[in-house]
Amino acid sequence: MLFRGYHLRRAMLGAGFVALAIGLAMGPQANASGEVRTLSLYEIHTKETITVTFKRDGKFDEEGLKKLNHFMRDWRAEEETHMDRELIDLIWTLHRELGSQEPIHLVSGYRSAKTNARMRKRGGGQAKKSQHIQGKAADIHFPDVSAKTLRNSALVQEVGGVGYYPTSGIPFVHVDTGRVRMWPRIPRLELAALYPSGHTDYVPRGGGRIGIKDYQLAMAKGLVSKTLVASAAPMPTPKPRALAPEMPQPILASYTPGAPANAPQAPTPPPRTSLTPNPPPPAAAEAANSAAEAAEAVAAATTAKSAGVAVGDAPPSSSSTRSSASSPTIKISSLSSTRCITCGKTTSTTTSSTFHSTTTISSKASETTATASIIICLITAIPT
């Protein structure tokens, strides 16, 4: 009975191991159940676009792969090959991990040996045994992700070769499923910042493998937080700069001789759209000239009075009279009208001046219309 129980326990234990092995083998497929992988690409040379599902429920879709083989063909020679499936999976993973929302721009896919040799002869820098010839490489560009972020994310995947071309007309990253290598090499701590485990097969600039101490040093220097791997957030929109307030235009204040210091100033006219001041109308110009001439006449009469120089008799008129023969009195009265060039209002001013002198004033001086005040209208730089 003991023998039979022993064999039964052995059989049950063996069956358990078999079931565990089967579960582990089918685990990835079970986890991939229901997953659909689709790529959207744009070929920058042929301007072709494609959206194709290449994997369903963890299994490659052969029809989808055929479409990708043709799309990624050597468009110069119109030749195609079987593109490496691991490469297609890598491109899809990068696009998903970086959160890119734009179609992938394909710069180069498959290249025939003849096309590769011809490009090498022209000095394009292609490798003699390029992975493109074997259908294991692609040069890609994500419109909404920087080339450096794409490069770093490809390095983290550690699938194969990674090339970085940030100064190309369209910045791109070369990815392939060949041996692990990168170009150009990056500084040691910059590479270490990508690997918390402190281990990778990629070799930094200067040679030698990185270690956990390199990662710790990169973290201490803040390089880990600055290294972009899976960030595809758009650049923030700059805030609009506040415009500087317009400086007020200079204003020529009005001035009236003899006016009190606290006299109210004329109101500022409403702004217009031009910075060129309007020229005064002819009527205002003539009024200003008449006022100036009248002031000169009054000054000349005053000078003649103080100097005692005889300049001739002034004939009686409505605007000038004599008070007596011994001490003649001369009264000059004038009526002047001034029109403001801003508001259009007309102001009339009557001025009288009386002189007592033993001298006589010529008819020319007596007939001159004088004004004792000069009104300078407010002149403002008015936008028009």
Q: pLDDT of 109-123, one tens digit each?
A: 999 999 999 998 888
- Domain assignment present for residue 9? The answer is no
The Cα 359–Cα 112 span in angstroms is: 120
**89: CATH:** 3.30.1380.10
- Domain assignment present for residue 338? The answer is yes
- The pair of structure tokens assigned to 246 is 């317009």
The answer on pLDDT for 17 being more than 60 is: no
The Cα 45–Cα 315 span in angstroms is: 104
Q: What is the pLDDT of residue 128?
A: 85
SS3 content of the chain, % helix, strand, coil (to 5): 30, 20, 50
Based on the domain organization, do 35 and 179 belong to the same domain?
yes
- Domain assignment present for residue 200? The answer is no
Binned at pLDDT 50, 70 and 90, residue 276 comes out as very low
- The pair of structure tokens assigned to 234 is 């758009």
Binned at pLDDT 50, 70 and 90, residue 365 comes out as very low
Q: What is the pLDDT of residue 203?
A: 97
30-39, 143-152, 302-311: range with lowest mean pLDDT: 302-311
- For tokens 């003849």, name the residue: 114
Q: Which long-range contacts (CB under 8 A, 24 or more apart) does 94-97 make?
A: 94/140, 94/142, 94/150, 94/153, 94/154, 94/157, 94/175, 95/39, 95/142, 97/153, 97/230
Which residues partner with 150 through β-bridges?
A: none
Based on the domain organization, do 270 and 176 belong to the same domain?
no
The answer on pLDDT for 378 being more than 50 is: no
- Domain assignment present for residue 287? The answer is yes
The residue-averaged pLDDT of 12-23 equals 53
The answer on pLDDT for 243 being more than 50 is: no
Based on the domain organization, do 275 and 176 belong to the same domain?
no
Binned at pLDDT 50, 70 and 90, residue 370 comes out as very low
Based on the domain organization, do 174 and 47 belong to the same domain?
yes
- Grouping H, G, I as helix, E, B as strand and the rest as coil, residue 215 is helix
The Cα 246–Cα 240 span in angstroms is: 18
Which pLDDT tens digit goes with each residue over 54-112? 999 999 999 999 999 999 999 999 999 999 999 999 999 999 999 999 999 999 999 99
Based on the domain organization, do 42 and 168 belong to the same domain?
yes
Q: What is the pLDDT of residue 232?
A: 38
- Domain assignment present for residue 13? The answer is no
Based on the domain organization, do 44 and 153 belong to the same domain?
yes
Q: What is the pLDDT of residue 283?
A: 45
- Total number of domains constituting the chain: 2
Residues 6+ apart with CB under 8 A from 325: none
- The pair of structure tokens assigned to 135 is 């259908």
The residue-averaged pLDDT of 187-206 equals 96
Which of these three, 184, 213, 243, is where a domain ends?
A: 184
Q: Which of 166, 169, 102, 109 is nearest to 140 (CA)?
A: 109
The residue-averaged pLDDT of 8-19 equals 54
Q: Does 184 sit behind a cis peptide bond, omega within 30 degrees of 0 on the bond before it?
A: yes
- Domain assignment present for residue 219? The answer is no
| Highest mean pLDDT out of 11-20, 136-145, 304-313, 375-384 | 136-145
Q: Say if residues 359 and 308 touch (Cβ distance below 8 Å).
A: yes
Q: What is the pLDDT of residue 16?
A: 55
The Cα 322–Cα 313 span in angstroms is: 10
Which pLDDT tens digit goes with each residue over 286-330? 544 554 554 554 454 454 444 444 444 444 444 443 444 444 555
- Domain assignment present for residue 333? The answer is yes
- The domain containing residue 75 runs over which residues? 30-184
Based on the domain organization, do 176 and 34 belong to the same domain?
yes
Which of these three, 184, 199, 228, is where a domain ends?
A: 184
Based on the domain organization, do 34 and 134 belong to the same domain?
yes
Dihedral sign for Cα atoms in the order 117, 133, 42, 184: negative
- Domain assignment present for residue 159? The answer is yes
> How does DSSP classify residue 108?
E
Based on the domain organization, do 281 and 174 belong to the same domain?
no
Which of these three, 142, 157, 184, is where a domain ends?
A: 184
The answer on pLDDT for 171 being more than 70 is: yes
Q: Say if residues 124 and 107 touch (Cβ distance below 8 Å).
A: no
- For tokens 């009264």, name the residue: 331
